[in-house]
């Protein structure tokens, strides 16, 4: 059999001779044709050729790390970004902050023209003051009138009692020194006293009723006016926009002098961002989300800091799916430390690695060493002047390496790059996985 290397050398030498004999366009066309023929011959599979190792590595001990690769986005935590605004229509009279300013909770950041609301508050306050004065006057005068009427009633009762006693005394003396005129006068006094008692009694009841009714009415008016004043003050407070938290001004949507028209929703004017409260939202494919659990370590990078790796851990796996480009993702949330958050910005894109498995000091081979032969993934081991396939028992399959449980020994050379023959030997397709003692094959 003519060696393959000899034929290749012969073809190359012959091509050089032919090219040397040609000029111009003919040389170019001939060069293209010869290159195509030579390439077809070189890469043409040969039935009788054996597997050739293009790269070898030694089986060794080390760490097998399994990671889920995904893309993430830096976003504010829930409640870390607040859009402040106003609930009523008005003109912006003053902006106290600019974009990028740091603000504190309770700080005044904007004011709207609230003269109408202030007038309404002043009017209601005046009405409330008037009602309080009326109630005070009522409490001062009505009890006095009631006491005066009660005094007159007591006098009338005393007069009636005196008239009754006088009449009873005069009756036996009728015609014996007491004239009819005197007796009639005493009877008249009795009648007048009775009428006065009835009059003052009715008057006192009327005064008590008026006092109670007027007092209740004024109390109700005061309560209603106080409620209206409280509502007016609340509306007035909408004209002053206060920062709800510590943070930085991340957006201003209107300027001084512009009119804010409030509708069913609050008009957003200024956005406050708590820059220390950022999180990384990792979009994990539905096929990988089962391995991602809270507490899993995460390494991520952003383009603005090339070469720098940030670290964190999964705090929560969001239960709801998210459809992006017709692919189902689940969000894994990573809370960022303050020092990391201060270096990043919302909406930055991050390249993430989520650690889902790790074994240390185990026997391992690169994943590139595995090749499919039939239904088995085999590894070609170098030995006895050639390569022979082995199906080892494997453990954790990491991102770059795979754990070897049995079938390979430390220090053996395995092929990570290989050229296979066109026709595989029959014994290669019948090999089975190496089983430990006492264990049956499941292939």
- The residue extents of the domains of the chain are 4-43, 52-64+361-433, 81-113+240-273, 115-238
CB atoms within 10 A of CB 187: 14
Phi (first) and psi of residue 247, to 5 degrees? 170, -160
Rounded to whole angstroms, the Cα distance separating 437 from 285 reads 39
Note whether 370 and 413 are within 8 A (CB): no
Closest by alpha carbon to 306, among 351, 354, 355?
A: 351
Rounded to whole angstroms, the Cα distance separating 344 from 384 reads 57
Note whether 275 and 340 are within 8 A (CB): no
Note whether 77 and 277 are within 8 A (CB): yes
Q: Which residues have C-beta within 8 Å of that of residue 15, sequence separation ≥ 6? A: 34, 38
Q: How do beta strands 413-419 and 370-373 pair? A: unpaired
Rounded to whole angstroms, the Cα distance separating 425 from 137 reads 117
Rounded to whole angstroms, the Cα distance separating 392 from 410 reads 13
* Assigned CATH class of 52-64+361-433: mainly beta
Closest by alpha carbon to 58, among 417, 416, 412?
A: 412
From start to end of 325-430, where are the E strands?
Answer: 327-335, 349-366, 370-373, 376-383, 386-390, 393-397, 401-406, 413-419
Rounded to whole angstroms, the Cα distance separating 328 from 284 reads 9
- Residue at token pair 């089986």: 59
Question: Is the four-CA dihedral 150, 156, 158, 164 of positive or negative sign?
Answer: negative
CB atoms within 10 A of CB 104: 9
Closest by alpha carbon to 402, among 432, 427, 371, 436?
A: 371
CB atoms within 10 A of CB 20: 9
Note whether 246 and 81 are within 8 A (CB): no
CA angle, 391 then 394 then 400, to 5°: 105
Coil, helix or strand for 350? strand
* Assigned CATH class of 115-238: mainly alpha
CATH no., domain 81-113+240-273:
2.40.50.100
What length does the chain have? 443
pLDDT in tens, the chain (443 residues): 334 444 444 455 555 555 555 555 555 555 555 555 555 554 554 444 566 767 889 999 999 999 999 999 999 999 899 998 888 788 999 999 999 999 999 999 999 998 999 999 999 999 999 999 999 999 999 999 999 999 999 998 998 888 888 878 877 776 676 777 887 788 888 889 899 899 999 999 999 999 999 999 999 999 999 999 999 999 898 889 999 999 999 999 888 888 888 765 566 889 999 999 999 999 999 999 999 999 999 999 999 999 999 999 999 999 999 998 899 999 999 999 999 999 999 999 999 999 999 999 999 999 999 988 877 888 899 888 788 888 899 999 988 999 999 989 999 999 888 887 766 776 676 665 544 444 433 33
């Amino acid at each position: 059999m003519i060696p393959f290397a000899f034929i290749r050398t012969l073809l190359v030498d012959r091509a050089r001779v032919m090219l040397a004999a040609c000029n111009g366009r003919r040389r170019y066309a001939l060069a293209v044709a010869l290159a195509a023929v030579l390439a077809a011959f070189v890469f043409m599979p040969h039935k009788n050729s054996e597997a050739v190792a293009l790269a070898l590595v030694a089986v060794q001990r080390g760490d097998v790390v399994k990671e889920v690769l995904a893309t993430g986005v830096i976003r504010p935590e829930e409640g870390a970004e607040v859009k402040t605004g106003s609930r009523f229509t008005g003109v912006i009279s003053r902006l106290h902050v600019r974009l990028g300013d740091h603000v504190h909770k309770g700080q005044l950041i904007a004011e709207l023209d609230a003269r109408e609301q202030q007038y309404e508050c002043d009017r209601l306050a005046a009405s409330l003051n008037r009602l309080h004065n009326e109630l005070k006057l009522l409490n001062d005068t009505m009890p006095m009138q009631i006491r005066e009427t009660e005094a007159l009633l007591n006098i009338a009762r005393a007069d009636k009692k005196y008239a009754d006693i006088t009449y009873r005394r005069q009756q036996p003396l009728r015609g014996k020194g007491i004239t009819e005129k005197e007796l009639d006068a005493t009877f008249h006094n009795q009648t007048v006293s009775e009428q006065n008692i009835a009059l003052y009694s009715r008057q006192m009841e009327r005064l008590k009723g008026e006092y109670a009714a007027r007092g209740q009415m004024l109390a109700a008016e005061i309560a209603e006016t106080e409620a209206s004043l409280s509502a007016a003050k609340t509306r007035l407070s909408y004209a002053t926009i206060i920062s709800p938290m510590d943070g930085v001004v991340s957006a201003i949507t209107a300027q001084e002098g512009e009119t804010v028209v409030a509708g069913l929703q609050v008009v957003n004017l200024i956005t406050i961002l708590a820059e220390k409260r950022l999180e990384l939202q990792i979009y994990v494919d539905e096929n990988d989300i089962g391995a991602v659990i809270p507490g899993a370590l995460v390494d991520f990078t952003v383009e603005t800091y090339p070469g720098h790796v940030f670290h964190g851990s999964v705090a929560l796996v969001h239960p709801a799916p998210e459809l992006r480009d017709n692919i189902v993702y689940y969000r894994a949330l990573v809370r960022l430390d303050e020092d990391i958050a201060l270096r990043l910005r919302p909406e930055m894109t991050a390249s993430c690695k989520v650690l889902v498995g790790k074994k240390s000091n185990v026997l391992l081979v690169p994943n590139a060493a595995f090749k499919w032969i039939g239904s088995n993934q085999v590894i070609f081991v170098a030995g006895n002047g050639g390569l022979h396939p082995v199906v080892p028992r494997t453990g954790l399959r990491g991102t770059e390496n795979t754990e070897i449980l049995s079938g390979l020994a430390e220090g053996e050379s395995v092929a990570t790059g290989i050229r296979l023959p066109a026709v595989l030997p029959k014994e290669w397709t019948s090999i089975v996985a190496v089983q430990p003692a006492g264990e049956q094959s499941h292939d």
